[in-house]
Amino acid sequence: MTGPAVRVDTAGPVPPYEQIRAQLAALIATGQLAEGERLPTVRQLATGLGLAPGTVARAYRELETAKLIYTRRGAGTRVAALPSEPLPPDPAQLDRLARDFTSAARALGADTEAILTAVRKALE
């Protein structure tokens, strides 16, 4: 992976695996990571980020489930071709993201109305 670096805030409210997954998904969706580009091994990325390999492995599994990356023995983990039509969102993943956002917003002291206002504004 020669593209932009992935960063993880271990003190933040979003789990590290989700930070990795979201950043890599965004890099792939925007073309900053090109089809066929090789990603670091789980062990390499985990070492570079100071995380357990299982954390990176979970992020990679979720990216594989979303068909954004694929792993082949001997060829490593690579960026998959983007589908011609967007895939429908994974309801479980959306629920997880909503819970993570809500928890983080509540930790900042936001009430329900402030959270809903922020979401509406982000959707505009």
What does the pLDDT look like over 37-87, one tens digit per residue?
Answer: 999 999 999 999 999 999 999 999 999 998 999 999 988 999 999 877 776
If residue 76 lies in a helix (H) or strand (E), which one and from where to where?
Answer: strand 76-79
Q: Which residues of 85-105 are buried (b: 16+ CB within 10 A; e: fewer)?
A: eeeeeeeeeeeeeeebbeeeb
- pLDDT score at 117: 95
Token pair listed for 6: 């992935």
97 or 70, higher pLDDT: 70
pLDDT surpassing 60 at residue 3: no
| CB atoms closer than 10 angstroms to residue 59 | 28
Q: What phi, psi does 10 have (nearest 5°)?
A: -70, -15
CB-based contact 118:106 (threshold 8 Å):
no
- pLDDT score at 52: 96
pLDDT surpassing 80 at residue 110: yes
Tell me the pTM.
Answer: 0.69
